[in-house]
Structure formats: C-alpha cells, structure tokens
Amino acid sequence: MTKLDRPALPAVTVLDQPIEMRDGTVLRADVHRPAGDGRHRTVLMRGPYGEPVFRAVPVTAYLRAGMAVVLQHCRGRGNSDGEFTPWVDEGRDGADTVDWIKAQPWSNGEVVAAGNSYLAGCALQLASERPDALKAVVAAMTPHDFYDGLKYHGGAFALGSAFFWGALQGLLGAVHDIDDGGAARLGPLMKVLADPDAAMRTLPLRDVPGVADAFPFWRDWVDHPERDSYWTDLAETLRHDRIGVPVLHVAGWFDVFLRGTLENHRRIPGGRLVIGPWSHLSQTGGVGELYFGHAASAQMAQLEAAQIAFLRGDTGGPAVRYFTMGADVWRDAESWPPPGATATRYYLHSGGSLSTGAPGADASPSRFVHDPDDPVPTHGGNLLLNDPVNVGPRDQRAVEARPDVLVFTTPVLDHDVEVTGPVRAVLHAATSAPGADWTAKLVDVRPDGRAMNVLDGIVRSPAGATRHEIDLAATSQTFRAGHRIRVQVASSNFPRFDRHPSMVRAEQTVFHDAGRPSWIELPVMQ
C-alpha cells in the first residue's frame, strides 16, 4: 500500500475566548492555531448563527495551510454578550477583533476574513473599516445593499426570505436570552413555524404573530418600504468605495443574493469571481430538480482550495470563472459579464409566441385577472424559504396552467443559444388597480415538455405607470437545439414576494403593439 508522507500537526484550541469591544461589550470566539511559537496569518469569521454553523468551517484545512482561525459570535448571539442588531455593529466589532488578533503572540500581524451570507457581509463591513492588518476577503453569496436585493426586490418586500431569516433570528435570540425572558418567546415562534404559509398571509404584515414580537426588526423592515434614512444609515456600514483589499466573490445561479454578489464584484475593483449552479445552502452538482453533472459541485471545482490559496495571498488565476448550465461546463473570462454577448430582444407576441421579430402596429394585447387572495405560488427560483426543497429549477407546467400566468414561447430551436450575462425585461402593461406588481420568469422548455425556470424578477409599479422594467439579475444558460425559450408573466410570486399592498382584484393588460412592445433582453453569446 502507498505510504502517505503526512506528518502530524499539533494544534492549540481555545474555546470561548473573551474579546472586549470598544464599548466594553465582551464577544467570544473559538481560536484554533498551530501549536508552538510560530506566528501566523489569521482567518477571521464572524457570525450570528451560533456554534453549529461554525462546525462546517474547514478549520483543519486552514491549519494545514499554516494559518490560525478565529470563529467569533456576533454580539447577542452564541456565547457573546450584548444585543444583536442586524448589520449595525459588524464593521466596528470586526475591526476591534482584528486589533485583538494583532496583539496576540501567535499572530504575524496579518488577518484575512471570510464567510458565506451574513458572515460574508461581516467580512465586507470589516473591510470597509480599512484596518491596516486586513489583507484579503472571501465573500460568498451576500447582498450588496440591505434594502435593494435583500429585503426589497424591485420595490416588493422579499417576504419569504425575510420571514425565514426573521424567524430564525427570533429563535436564536430567544435561546440566547433563555434565562432573561427568552423562554416565553419560544412557544409562539414554534407555533408560527408549524404553519408558516398561514403566518405569511397575515395582514398587516407587520403583525405576523410570533415573529414580530420575537424579532423587533421585522416591523422596521415592513415599515420602511422605500429607501429612506433607515436604509441609508445602514448603507454607511458597507462602503464599497472604502474597501481596498482583494476580494474573492462566490455566487450561485440560484442563490437569493446572486445580484448582490455580482454587484459587490462590480463595485470593488481588482477582485475575482466564481459563479456555480448552486443555491444559497447547497453547492453540490444538483439543485432543485436538475443535476448539472459531477463537475458542477464546489468540491470538484476545488473551490475550497482556491479560497484558501486566495486567503494565503495567491490572488492569481482567472478573474472570472463561471458555469454555463445546459452545456454544463466551466468557463474562464477576463471580466463579468464576459465579452462576446449581443443584447438580443425577444418580443412577447399576441397568442403566446416569443421571437426576435418586432410586433406589428395593431397587435392585440394579452389579458388576465390577478386575485390577491389566490396569488401565483412560488415554485422554484433563487430562494431562501422555510421549505428547503422549493429552490432552484423546478418544472413550471402546473404554474403555467393557471389563468393568471401568461406564457410566451419560441419555436423549437434548431441550434444552441447560449445566454450569458445580465437579463432584463420590459413590459408595457396597465392595471385596473391602484398600482401593480409585474413578474417575469425565463424558462427552458425541454423536449420532454418539462419547463425548467432559469431566473425571475419583479417590479412594483405605481398607479398610472405603463412601462415596467424588471431586473432578472443574470445567468449563463445554454438553450439546447430541440429546446424552446419561454417567458412567464404574472402579477404575483407568493410567498417569495409579498402581495401588492392594495390587495385589489385587478384586470391586467399586457400590450404587444409596435408603440408599446413588451420584451425580454437576453445576452446571446456569438
């Protein structure tokens, strides 16, 4: 048998290390470092989810790479003192922790930060504080803004993900305060989580039982539907223009924060970007009802090794690496979006056809009735819901059979069409209600009839508006010969997004004439 030349690596672990912040609050962290008198670059991760999440951190791999690791609970979470206020303290607390690390005898004075989701946000907020010891950041699947793309999308409240995260934080807060009134909050929360669909139908939303009382920031989110001072004050904690260290961004085509990660990459110069066919909670080769092949997994793509190398100081390699679904291959590029795409408009026509041909002058409109008491159900997509199965690509045929969903489809393709880059849709449409939501969904229709969603978006338009632009973020999808390209149009996607506040049954009209064309713009690679 082969003999592995793998020496033992003695390590030192200190649990619940107290670290005092500038305001006197004590946060606690687990510290792992190679044993001995050496000095090491340190990986800092900070999170609000308690110890179980930290179990997934590749501590052993970091140690073998010669680095120390500090896993710190945010204030008011895990074993840390203080009160948890989302996003507000993370930059300052991170900077104070970096100062503590620098002063340790095992530190070489260099710190790097990493994480996924909220943890990645902590890392970027730390970077915007500009501590001189910080050398690099790995930020995976995290928003670029606390209003746009996190709690609101196109003006619509991201109800499903907000409820999921608010309920989770309510539970974590109750456990943290279990000896100080937290136990009384657990019962109502558990009752709500037993029937989340009913809870999310509560009106007004600010009074969702259990969550609103256990997690007071819920009402802040609901009460500020516009970008006002509440959101602009939070935005000051994540100043992209102040981030001067290299950042490796990791995105997923079916991640709830896809657009946020792409925007972080755009706003912070000099970084790298990896985009896989992943959801927020999974980086395997399969998501939803599709399997993209063994090579699609983060493990086979050697993502962890690339992240560790980046944190050690190796910032070389392709600027952008992305996975093209349909063709199921990885590609490298010098920038995002990659060069070579032609923005191509596919027009929505009367009768349900979709083509690059412009509509005629007298084309008739399409109509449907939107009933807020029977909204179009969320079925797949870039989701973070209480239902972990409802995510990614899922067969849309049941949704498309509804009378309140318009469907527009190309003829069968006689050649592959690769779409790589940002996608947007423009609808010329009217409503009988005082304002409306307009949704668009891009779908890959397979020869066997399955209609698999690729991406979707929403815009909440004011009364009287007739032109509605929908940001569908971006994708890299090859529509294979024999497939068809489809677009769905509706006025709800519940519970991913809340129902329009008017709660009025409405007659919706989508126009298709030359003066009022409706279309989706796809970046078609040449």
Other beta carbons less than 10 A from residue 197's beta carbon: 11
Q: Are 332 and 275 in contact (CB under 8 A)?
A: no
HSE toward the beta carbon, residue 390, CA cutoff 13 A:
15
Give the amino acid at 365: P
Of 425, 421, 420, whose CA–CA distance to 488 is shortest?
A: 425
Q: CA 137, 141, 143, 148: dihedral to nearest 10 degrees?
A: 160
At 500, which helix (H) or strand (E)?
A: none
Active site residue 428: no
Of 242, 239, 248, 43, whose CA–CA distance to 138 is shortest?
A: 248
Length of the chain: 526
CA–CA gap between residue 300 and residue 284 (Å, rounded) = 9
Phi, psi of 385 (to 5 degrees): -115, 170
Active site residue 249: no
CA–CA gap between residue 444 and residue 427 (Å, rounded) = 20
CA–CA gap between residue 101 and residue 302 (Å, rounded) = 29
CA–CA gap between residue 455 and residue 446 (Å, rounded) = 16
- For CA atoms 290, 293, 294, 300, give the dihedral sign: negative
Read off the tokens for 226: 């516009």
Q: Are 128 and 239 in contact (CB under 8 A)?
A: yes
Residue from 80, 107, 117, 461 carrying the catalytic annotation: 117
CA–CA gap between residue 121 and residue 127 (Å, rounded) = 10
Active site residue 117: yes
Q: Residue written as tokens 């090491």?
A: 40
Residue from 40, 153, 249, 280 carrying the catalytic annotation: 280
Beta strands in 187-289 (DSSP E): 247-254, 272-279, 286-287
Residues 447-468 as b/e (b if ≥16 CB within 10 A, e otherwise) read eeebbbbbbbbbbbbeeeeeeb
Q: What is the CA radius of gyration of the chain?
A: 24
Read off the tokens for 396: 């849309």
Q: How far, rounded to the nearest angstrom, does the alpha carbon of residue 144 sit from its chain's CA centroid? A: 10
Residue from 30, 89, 145, 255 carrying the catalytic annotation: 255
Identify the three-state secondary structure at position 66. Answer: coil
Give the amino acid at 98: V
Read off the tokens for 321: 């690496």
Give the β-pairing of 484-490 and 406-409.
antiparallel
| 155 φ/ψ sector (left φ>0, alpha ψ -120 to 50, else beta) | left
Read off the tokens for 9: 């690596």
As annotated, the active-site residues are 117, 255, 280
